[in-house]
Amino acid sequence: MQLDIFTTGGTIDKVYFDAKSTFQVGEPQIVEVLREANLCIDYRVIPLLRKDSLELTDDDREIVRKAVIGSSTSHIVITHGTDTMITTAKALGGIPGKTIVLTGAMQPARFRFTDAVFNVASAMMAAQTLSPGVYIAMNGRIFNPDKTRKNVEMNRFEEI
């Protein structure tokens, strides 16, 4: 089974630039996360975008949708910023024969304490085991994007 992982940026890929004293979206961090995990699964990482999710446009979402449709595999993981992850998940609805799981992180993957590794692992397992559809893997749960919200105050996703 092959798994395609599309990266779009977001907090999971943020890096700290000393000269700018701020975080910016950098290279996809999932490559290093997966290398360290010693996986026994056939996967490929395809970088699509390098944006904070608040900067994503409908045109960007169309790029993601076309990439998913064009993928030769039916098992897809998308790393994404958490602020508009639900919007992108909903934009991916209706693609037949694909299990699509979006995930991200509340803390950058480069941080010593991050939820990125757990969320990526959860998304990869979900993409391999769930029936076709679009899902969000965050905070130890799998969510239906139509019944989910990001609780900014609690810094987590939850069912509505």
Give yes or no for residue 50 having a pLDDT over 80.
yes
Helix axes 30-37, 116-129, angle to 10 degrees: 80
Average pLDDT along the chain: 90
pLDDT > 70: what percent of the chain?
A: 89
- Continuous segment of H or E residues that includes residue 46: strand 42-51
14-23, 76-85, 123-132: least confident range = 14-23
Give yes or no for residue 2 having a pLDDT over 60.
yes
Q: What's the pLDDT band for 3 if we cut at 50, 70, 90?
A: very high
